[in-house]
């Protein structure tokens, strides 16, 4: 296994905070990095045009080498007209870590490598993992069953096992990780890092509204629906938010979509003006939300994760 050099000595717990649509913003990323986990956000959260540069300036101004590094998530799908613009800013501000999604592209990896940055690419199966590394990714995010947002269907046991048969580089595992025991389990499986998303929705710094945060606190795995209805890519969403938006869950398709509608989703969020049926009111979350009991500052959540993680390691060592 391999921990990236840029992470060494800067993490309080081996965690990358997942970039989340709408939720992840500079306030949350700064709190995450200062508390010792890799904070991240999707570049498409920074809207309108010009906002991304402001966010990167703020992160560069407020974070130091004593903090954990931050990451920017780039949607590399052909439907993203902002990719080159955002990539140029990533290079300009030398973003330490880039997380690419929905298509591995060698040109993205080469641009990030030009200034010494590293690229993680998220994948849902071993085939996509091979393609990502072949196209220049340094590390992988294995998105297993139950992860929030766009997720795969494979067990983490199968997915990590198959990747580790040929890849010894940096590997993060995503899927239902919301406490320190799960972080320890990810490491035991062979991952270097845990990828934690949904638990950070219920933090004070998150960009989610209060109803979204409370739905995470009150929810459990039974409240998660897996569908491709909203973006054209399969993902996990909160059932109560679907119902509240006036959508009958029985009408949701379980068939694969032929086109990718990520940019359509983003545009609808921009244009939404109090419409209860706007996509901004259908909220993503993973099956691990049962571990989230209250809305807290991000630093307090990370402190809990670190304490639980250390206790899990100590328990396993004593029992071994």
Q: Report the alpha-carbon distance of residue 90 to residue 85 in Å, rounded.
A: 9
Q: Report the alpha-carbon distance of residue 300 to residue 320 in Å, rounded.
A: 30
Give the domain ranges of the chain: 5-206, 210-288
Q: Report the alpha-carbon distance of residue 243 to residue 219 in Å, rounded.
A: 14
Mean pLDDT on 177-200: 98
Q: Which residue in 286, 283, 291 sits closest to 147, CA to CA? A: 286
pLDDT attached to residue 320: 65
pLDDT attached to residue 259: 39
Q: Report the alpha-carbon distance of residue 95 to residue 117 in Å, rounded.
A: 7
pTM of the model: 0.91
Give the pLDDT confidence of 27-84 residue by residue, as tens digits: 999 999 999 999 999 999 999 879 999 999 999 999 999 999 999 999 998 888 999 9
Tokens of 146: 């139950």
Q: Which residue in 170, 154, 150 sits closest to 162, CA to CA? A: 154
5-206 sits in which CATH class? alpha beta
Give the pLDDT confidence of 233-261 residue by residue, as tens digits: 889 999 999 999 888 888 886 544 443 44
């Amino acid at each position: 296994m391999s921990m990236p050099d840029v992470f060494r000595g800067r993490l309080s717990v081996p965690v990358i905070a997942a970039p989340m649509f709408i939720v992840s913003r500079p306030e949350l990323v700064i709190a995450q990095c200062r508390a010792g986990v890799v904070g991240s956000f999707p570049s498409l959260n920074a809207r309108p045009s010009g906002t991304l540069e402001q966010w990167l300036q703020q992160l560069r101004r407020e974070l130091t080498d004593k903090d954990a590094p931050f990451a920017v998530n780039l949607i590399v799908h052909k439907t993203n007209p902002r990719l080159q613009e955002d990539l140029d800013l990533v290079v300009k501000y030398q973003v330490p870590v880039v997380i690419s999604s929905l298509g591995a592209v060698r040109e993205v990896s080469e641009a990030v490598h030009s200034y010494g940055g590293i690229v993680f690419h998220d994948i849902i199966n071993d085939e996509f993992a091979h393609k990502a590394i072949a196209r220049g990714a340094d590390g992988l995010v294995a998105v297993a069953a139950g992860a929030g947002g766009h997720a795969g269907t494979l067990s983490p046991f199968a997915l990590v096992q198959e990747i580790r048969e040929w890849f010894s580089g940096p590997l993060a595992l995503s899927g239902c990780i919301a406490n320190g025991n799960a972080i320890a389990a990810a490491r035991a499986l062979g991952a270097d890092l845990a990828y934690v998303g949904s638990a950070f929705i219920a933090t004070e710094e998150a960009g989610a509204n209060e109803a979204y945060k409370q739905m995470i606190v009150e929810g459990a795995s039974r409240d998660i629906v897996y569908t491709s209805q909203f973006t054209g890519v399969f993902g996990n969403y909160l059932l109560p938010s679907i119902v509240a938006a006036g959508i009958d869950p029985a009408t949701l398709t379980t068939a694969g979509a032929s086109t990718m509608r990520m940019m359509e989703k983003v545009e609808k969020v921009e244009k939404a003006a109090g419409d209860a049926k706007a996509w901004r009111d259908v909220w993503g979350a993973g099956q691990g939300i049962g571990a989230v009991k209250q809305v807290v500052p991000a630093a307090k959540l990370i402190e809990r994760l670190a304490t639980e993680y250390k206790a899990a390691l100590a328990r396993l060592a004593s029992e071994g």
